[in-house]
Amino acid sequence: MTQHLPYAAYPATRMRRNRLHDWRRRLTRETKLSTDDLILAMVVHDGQEARIPVDSMPATFRYSHTEAVAVAQEAESLGIPMIAVFPFIDPALKDAKGSEAFNANGLVPEVIAAMKRAAPNLGLMTDVALDPFTNHGHDGLIDDNGMMLNDPTIEALVAQAILEARAGADVVAPSDMTDGRVGAIRAGLDGAGFQDVAIMSYAAKYASAFYGPYRDAIGSQRALKGDKKTYQMDPGNSDEALHEVALDLHEGADMVMVKPGLAYLDIVRRVKDAFGVPTYAFQVSGEYAMMEAAIANGWLDGERVRMETLTCFKRAGADGIITYWALEAAKRLA
């Protein structure tokens, strides 16, 4: 006959005990988000208007030179370690070769230099890809059939990375997904005397539908001819992400990134577990936009969902998050 324990002895372990009060929850919390985990994603433009709203990204703006400097100073004062800068280029300056990406007096070099002067203790990361600068919206040079050319694109990206480093970028982030670009950029930076400029590679960047609002923000959505499935990763693949990361690390990447973020937290965890290197996730525009739309409609508690989402990246293994919410989160964490 089965011996039944007295009810008072069952259950011996009550998991709720450590959840009963705020102080208990804080003492037993496994994952803690801090300002040190935040990288602010920022779009800049070359006009006079201080802030131009991005229609598909509520509460997000394209910033002028002057406003970008002010935001950099605010980010520095809040303790945010780094800003990732993305440009909105005048369509009149775009061509098939992305020539404006190599203009030493262009938008990106001027804004980076100004931000670095104003906020010298703030890290600045620049995107290395041609899609904001091309009239076809692809990340590199293309042939007559719209296929991106791998090796000629790499030559262009090396020149772009050196230009951005010369302007004051602390980290360059190749987001194009061409094969071999990390090694070429590392060699180019070292050869130009920028051994201390780090590379955060978009190592596992997927051909995702979550990028649409960002393409609106930088003005490449309407220009894009075709899609990017021939060079960005298939969303159904996971093992391939580890192969991509291994290649980029072998070529000299200092940090690696998974993009998008929320729908790919399993990839973040696999990368962190497999390599144990500084691993970052990009909370991309589509993730941001859909949550902000729900917040604006009163369907979600904005403060709670923002902080919960960012914490989820940390729990999955990310060492940091590139996010449009960095300023709001830093204020909340202060």
Q: Work out the number of other CB atoms within 10 angstroms of the CB of residue 79.
A: 15
What does the radius of gyration of the chain's CA atoms come to, in whole angstroms? 22
Alpha-carbon span 185 to 17, nearest angstrom = 53
Determine the longest span between alpha carbons in the chain, in angstroms: 87
- Structural contact between residues 148 and 142, judged by C-beta atoms closer than 8 angstroms: yes
Q: Comparing C-alpha atoms, which of 21, 67, 23 is closest to residue 44?
A: 67
- d(CA 189, CA 173) in angstroms, rounded, equals 13
How many Å apart are CA 313 and CA 271, to the nearest integer? 13
Whose CA is closest to 137, among 234, 44, 226, 232? 226
Q: Which residue out of 205, 228, 272, 314 is catalytically annotated?
A: 205
Strand, coil or helix: what is 43?
A: strand
Q: Which of 94, 116, 228, 259 is catalytic?
A: 259
DSSP secondary structure letter of residue 142: B
Q: How far is CA 14 from CA 7, 11, 17, in A?
A: 13, 6, 6
Q: Is 259 a catalytic residue?
A: yes
97 is catalytic: no
| DSSP type of residue 168 | T
Residue positions annotated with a catalytic role: 205, 259
